[in-house]
Chains A and B, each alone.
Chain A
Amino acid sequence: MSEIRDEWPLYEIFVRGKRGLNHVHVGSLHAADDQMALRHARDVYTRRNEGVSIWAVRADAIAASSPDEKDPLFAPAGDKVYRHPTFYSIPDDVPHM
């Protein structure tokens, strides 16, 4: 059997379902270049009109937070309950708040 040569790079695919919505991650695929990534993404992820726009992003270009640092990274938000509207008590008879 002929050897399977080095794999094409991995792309992460994001699809905008309809106007007004964010692009959402839907999965990944391999492609030789950006154009092929978009064409494959169309065939793999939008066979039933699931989208009006596609982003294909090389997986090695994504910066991601490490799961090991999860707690320290998000700790600054942990003790700031005053950032939420429910922190403040307002008399029941004050309207529109």
Chain B
Amino acid sequence: MTATPKTSPDDGPDLLAAFEQTVARHDRIEPRDWMPEKYRSTLVRQIAQHAHSEIIGMQPEGNWITRAPSLRRKAILLAKVQDEAGHGLYLYSACETLGVSRRELTERLVSGKQKYSSIFNYPTLSYADVGTIGWLVDGAAICNQVPLCRTSYGPYGRSMIRICKEESFHQRQGFELLATMMRGTDAQRAMVQESVDRFWWPALMMFGPPDADSPNTVQSMAWGIKRDTNDELRQKFVDMTVPQAKALGVTLPDPDLVWNEERGHHDFGQPDWDEFYAVVKGSGPCNAQRIAHRRKALEDGAWVREAATAFAEKERTA
């Protein structure tokens, strides 16, 4: 065996080189590996935002559980909202492997220090919105998430694999719900179109600002945290969705949406980025309501958590 001097913990250049080689090999970084502080903080921000989105994302749809039009739809919606809770938990545990506690994450959400996807700050005004969220919002989420199964941080990638398996049900139930309504009355078809009109642009915003205005993208791609740019994913989503809209018989509310033979992609208009930034900064239709609801759930559940802790303590010492 060759005697090699042990690398000391403060031997920065060697550790950085080893980290970069691992990423370059498309190998995964695991929780106890050395990693640059910026890599860690970028992951904490991205995974936490993702986890918070799953948890806040339960609210717009949860709004309709008690008013589902049939027992079948109610069972489906309950299962879907329960999945969102599960996705939040997978992601929180991935985030905790980076040395941040669940308590800190929850506090950062309810204090507004960390964000969640701006899409959940829009209200759900009709039952068709349950379908549209499944079809367009979960469809956009799948576009974002499938490449993240190959992200360089092991626990994040493993969470994404579980989530992607389950999201497919979410998108399909949404499409089926809308297709059922489209086979119904004129009023039902109008409800679907109105819902699609409201959610189309916010769904396109889910991919984040255009690449030129997304300063973190270059570093995140170099580290293998992100695998595609915002604009690439947005294009993929539009190309994917157009034939689905046609099958449904709905119109996507973009006069500039047209097939470009030369590019082999659809051309499409830009979302209102001023609206996007306003919603991100807290001025969306439901920002205050979403956070207030989460905070109330946290406070109302405090006695349950305390009772469970006391019971566990009693059992342990009995």
Binding site for B on A (CB under 8 A): 1-2, 4-8, 10, 26-30, 32-33, 36, 43-44, 47-48, 64, 66-68, 71-72, 75, 78-79
Counting CB contacts under 8 A, is B171 at the interface?
no
In contact, B315 and A7 (Cβ under 8 angstroms) = no
**Chain B hits for A47, CB < 8 A:** 79, 82-83, 86
Majority SS at the chain B contact face: helix
Counting CB contacts under 8 A, is B280 at the interface?
no
In contact, B90 and A27 (Cβ under 8 angstroms) = yes
What string of 1s and 0s marks CB contacts (under 8 Å) between B184-208 and chain A?
0000000000000000000000000
Binding site for A on B (CB under 8 A): 1, 4, 6-7, 9, 30, 32-34, 79, 82-83, 86, 89-90, 93-94, 96, 101-103, 106-107, 110, 158-159, 162, 166, 295, 298-299, 302, 305-306, 308-309, 311-312, 315-316
**Chain A hits for B34, CB < 8 A:** 67
In contact, B311 and A32 (Cβ under 8 angstroms) = yes
A4-B106, A8-B309 as given contacts; A75 in contact with B298, CB under 8 Å: no
**Chain B hits for A8, CB < 8 A:** 305, 308-309, 312
**Chain A hits for B306, CB < 8 A:** 5
A1-B298, A68-B9 as given contacts; A36 in contact with B305, CB under 8 Å: no
**Chain A hits for B90, CB < 8 A:** 27, 44
Q: Which 3 A-B pairs have the closest CB atoms?
A: A33-B312, A32-B312, A32-B308
**Chain A hits for B110, CB < 8 A:** 1
In contact, A27 and B30 (Cβ under 8 angstroms) = no
Q: Which residue of A lies closest to B311 (CB)?
A: A32
B7 to chain A, nearest CB (A): 8
In contact, B93 and A28 (Cβ under 8 angstroms) = yes
Q: Which residue of A lies closest to B83 (CB)?
A: A47
A29-B93, A44-B89 as given contacts; A7 in contact with B101, CB under 8 Å: yes
Given contacts A1-B298, A5-B302, A72-B6, 19 further A-B contacts (CB under 8 A): A4-B103, A4-B107, A5-B306, A7-B101, A8-B309, A26-B162, A28-B96, A32-B305, A33-B308, A33-B316, A36-B312, A43-B86, A44-B90, A47-B83, A47-B86, A66-B32, A67-B33, A68-B9, A71-B4
In contact, A7 and B103 (Cβ under 8 angstroms) = yes
Complex alpha-carbon distance, A6 and B89, angstroms: 18
**Chain B hits for A33, CB < 8 A:** 308, 311-312, 315-316
**Chain B hits for A48, CB < 8 A:** 166
In contact, B1 and A2 (Cβ under 8 angstroms) = no
**Chain B hits for A43, CB < 8 A:** 82, 86
Complex alpha-carbon distance, A72 and B86, angstroms: 39
In contact, B312 and A2 (Cβ under 8 angstroms) = no
B84 to chain A, nearest CB (A): 12
Complex alpha-carbon distance, A3 and B4, angstroms: 50
- Which of B32, B299, B309, B316 is the one whose CB lies under 8 Å from A67? B32
Can you show 22 pairs from A to B with CB atoms below 8 A apart? A1-B295, A1-B299, A4-B106, A4-B107, A4-B302, A5-B309, A7-B103, A8-B308, A10-B96, A26-B162, A27-B159, A28-B96, A33-B308, A33-B316, A43-B86, A44-B89, A44-B90, A48-B166, A67-B30, A67-B33, A71-B4, A78-B1
Complex alpha-carbon distance, A32 and B110, angstroms: 23
B163 to chain A, nearest CB (A): 11
Complex alpha-carbon distance, A10 and B100, angstroms: 13
**Chain B hits for A72, CB < 8 A:** 6
Complex alpha-carbon distance, A6 and B101, angstroms: 10
B318 to chain A, nearest CB (A): 12
Complex alpha-carbon distance, A41 and B295, angstroms: 25
Complex alpha-carbon distance, A4 and B303, angstroms: 11
In contact, B302 and A2 (Cβ under 8 angstroms) = yes
